[in-house]
Amino acid sequence: MKLSKIMAVTALVAGLAVPVWAAQSNLSITADTLEYDGNSGIARANGNVVIINEDKTMTGKTGWYNTKTQEADLSGGVSMIGSDTSLSAQTLHSTNNEQLQATGNVRLQKENKQVFGDTVTYNTKTEYGTSRGNAKLVMDDAVLTGDYVQGWLNEIRATAQGNVTLHSAKHNLDASADNAVYTQTPGQDDGVAYLTGNAHAVQNGNVLNAPELKLEMKDNSVQTVGGRSTLIITPQQ
């Protein structure tokens, strides 16, 4: 069954929104024009699309929703607002109302943590996410960047690969490496970072270069893990 063409045209001319309610609870789709196929379960929407599914509201210029597979796809200035998570991007694909894949200048926020990237995936139940291309993870007291970043936001446990940087204004720290592993207890000042491959750290004007470094935020310490290292100490004025 499909919504009639007359209904769609009327909605477009009048500038009204036509809603569709799916059989599953707490789901509604609203747009300037809608076409719904009851056999496939696909609703195609154009213009000021709003999909409300349980605790999440997704908006975009165009999109579709499959009521049978619970998949949503939106493009054009996309936004998603959930109970504790928000996202903005150019495109967004959602599966089972929990697995998100977004592309194009993506910004994801979960409480006080943020993820940026060209392509971001995130699961709202496991809180595991990945970011590829201009990847950046903003945490309580540190910012981790790289070509690729992945981690669990609920644990603040992340790894970064390629052109890695770690910045902490609170601890006056800037570091870089080929790879990094960062862990922190949420709400605690106990971040620990392991940097491997051309590790370089600058803290309070002092410079340390080594194959591997261990940085501990709690006591502002930097340790070499292995290999030949160089420490350059800047005299305090």
Full-model pTM: 0.85
Whether residue 225 has pLDDT greater than 80: no
What is the structure's pLDDT at 82?
A: 93
Whole-angstrom distance, CA of residue 38 vs CA of residue 16 = 22
Other C-beta atoms closer than 10 Å to the C-beta of 184 total: 21
Give the contacts of 58 (CB within 8 A, at least 6 positions apart): 49, 50, 51, 52, 72, 74, 78, 79, 80, 92, 94
What is the structure's pLDDT at 100?
A: 97
- pLDDT tens string 21-73: 444 557 899 999 999 998 999 999 999 999 998 889 999 999 999 989 999 99
Return the biggest CA–CA distance within the chain: 79
In words, the CATH class of domain 112-232 is: mainly beta
Give me the residue spans of the domains in the chain: 112-232
What is the structure's pLDDT at 220?
A: 83
- pLDDT tens string 154-195: 989 999 999 999 999 988 999 999 999 999 988 888 889 999
